[in-house]
Amino acid sequence: MSTLSGLLAELQSGDSTRAEAAATALPAHAEAALAGLLPLLQSNDPETRWWAVRSLAGFLHPEASELLTQALADPDAGVQQCAALALSQRTHAGAVAPLVSLLASQDSLLARLAGDALVAQGAAAVEPLAAALQDSPSPSARVEAARALALIGDTRAIPALFKLLDSESAMLEHWASEGLQKMGVGMAFFKP
């Protein structure tokens, strides 16, 4: 196993193969590595911040989830995308509100990754997503919210999804139909 200082140096080497190897090895150093990543998260260089966030993806520690949530507000879209992708692999209730706000992003990849991360949050995301579906002025944010609700499949979303069945948006209607079908709503069963 490499030393912590060596791994942090490799993370900033500018060589993506070496940085990736360091990012996957850092979680073995636990809380000491988390502390070592903090200055990198504050770097002026977006690539350094991106690799720090990429490294956080491998940590199971609650502090890593909080740092990933904070990275959703990074000024660089690539860093935000990396954080959203990492959050799609874990649950962290504190990430729900920032992720919902990213559904309206002009960056369609970031909006999709935020939606995927909200799906991973499951039940904790249902009410905020239903609110976004109703209140968001952004048509694309509404579609992402409907998609996430459909994929979560929580029955509390049924009223919000039913309202979309007569929508003027084909995408909203599609995701409403998918979600309701997933939950078995609207299906008729006939006795042979």
Domain boundaries, the chain: 4-137
pLDDT band at 167 (very low <50, low <70, confident <90, very high): confident
Q: What is the pLDDT of residues 106-164, one digit of tens each?
A: 999 999 999 999 999 999 999 999 999 999 999 999 999 999 999 999 999 999 999 99
Count the Cβ atoms, other than its own, within 10 Å of residue 78: 16
Q: What is the pLDDT of residues 56-110, one digit of tens each?
A: 999 999 999 999 999 999 999 999 999 999 999 999 999 999 999 999 999 999 9
Q: How far are the Cα atoms of 70, 140, 154, 167 from residue 132, in angstroms, in the given order?
A: 21, 11, 16, 16
Q: How far are the Cα atoms of 12, 59, 142, 185 from residue 47, in angstroms, in the given order?
A: 8, 19, 31, 46
The span from the first CA to the last CA of the chain, in angstroms, equals 65
Q: How far apart are CA 142 and CA 172, in angstroms?
A: 8
Say if residues 113 and 142 touch (Cβ distance below 8 Å). no
Burial of 23 (0-12, 13-18, 19+ CB in 10 A): buried
| C-alpha of 182 from chain center | 22
Q: Which CATH number fits domain 4-137: 3.40.50.12780, 3.20.20.100, 3.40.50.920, 1.25.10.10?
A: 1.25.10.10
Helices (H) and strands (E) in the chain, counts: 12, 0
Total-model pTM = 0.90
> What would the mean pLDDT of 38-63 be, rounded to a whole number?
96
Q: Is the pLDDT of residue 190 over 50?
A: no
pLDDT band at 184 (very low <50, low <70, confident <90, very high): confident
Tokens matching residue 75: 């000024």
pLDDT band at 192 (very low <50, low <70, confident <90, very high): low
